[in-house]
Amino acid sequence: MGITDYLDAGDVAAALAQCKAADSFSFKQFCATSGLAKKSSDTVNKIFNIIDEDGSGYIEAKELKFFLQNFSSDARELGDSEIKTVLSAMGMSDDGKMNATEFQKLVSA
């Protein structure tokens, strides 16, 4: 299953449109617009597992780069400054990792 199996396609499209320009990504805004912030813990964990492409149990900076492409294959990559902003929201360094619990907190913040 893909992320769009859990979220409304129109909401995802609206969220992607809001951050189409470089350096315009806001994790909090994206989660709100896409409907991710309103999903149950179980659904957020399922989405976490999709984003955790290597199955390590963590979303790492290299996986955050392609965060938007998990929602649509033609979406842009996140820039380094956007990745740093997401990682710092969890108090992590540039080479940090985000586990499912941290992802859940960030999504619902």
What's the pTM? 0.89
11 labeled part of a ligand binding site: no
pLDDT given at position 8: 95
CB burial class (10 A; 0-12, 13-18, 19+) of residue 15? buried
Domain ranges of the chain: 3-108
60 labeled part of a ligand binding site: no
What's the whole-number mean pLDDT along residues 28-47? 96
* Contact assessment for residue 83 and residue 64, using Cβ atoms and an 8 Å cutoff: yes
23 labeled part of a ligand binding site: no
Amino acid at 102: E
pLDDT given at position 4: 86
80 labeled part of a ligand binding site: no
84 labeled part of a ligand binding site: no
Q: 3-108 belongs to which CATH class?
A: mainly alpha
pLDDT given at position 97: 83
Q: What does the alpha-carbon distance between residue 92 and residue 86 come to, in Å, rounded to a whole number?
A: 9
What's the whole-number mean pLDDT along residues 66-71? 94
What's the whole-number mean pLDDT along residues 95-103? 83
